Structure 1
């Protein structure tokens, strides 16, 4: 790793780590702008790199340099703008910590509860996900939501209406 380098960043670190192995990176920690964006900007319609660019309109971002999407150069340019803004929202050590965990999803990505916010699910739905789902992010988020509720197994009052 280069002198003074403290962390690496990518949008969807798991994808990049297939090629950027520790032997190449010196074992530096990573910031996953996808996982961090889920926490810092949970109300975005999507947390893909380009949707974040379009919805957030980061200061100083030159649209011409951000295209075409899904190419290394433009995607890295867009990711750098997200990283700058994430660093304004949370300290680097917090971004690294979030990046080491599974993604804390805003909405259920698939299955019978697809598209619903986690805080809208009944406890029985969380139990079903924890019992049957093998997706790491889904299980992590379901556990997080149970903990947020106090792990009581009681359906939130807003769902009893």
Structure 2
């Protein structure tokens, strides 16, 4: 198995480590596809034509025992914010999942997935068994996907980054990968 060296700055100290490059790409694609399916499915099953009724976060937002309960109460009691939330949670989850599965706009999808997972983590606040739970692990998976630009491996982003349009606008690479 071939290995590669990587270097990171950690607390002011340079640290080298080896990783198995022969499997690293497969692992990144696997993580991207699994998280993509997770979010695509979560969004899909909240659509009214699938669930049989419109998604409504009001009850959850009003009764969540969370450090951000005040924010949730504002959203639940402000009609346009609640409607926006009821549309964007299913649509956002679906589009994030689709982007990850296709490997398109992966860093953008990972950013918004991370935002949602942060809100879910703080919103669920089920810390009876400690602060590490599925929501925190989901957040970390989005961080990994974004940091390692998982869309550049067997993804649409690898092709998009080769386009002259993107080459002339290097800042777009922060959305891709």
TM-score, structure 1 normalization: 0.25
Larger radius of gyration: 2
Task: Report which of the two has the higher share of helix.
Answer: 2
Higher relative contact order (CA 8 A, sep 6+): 2
Task: Report which of the two has the higher share of strand.
Answer: 2
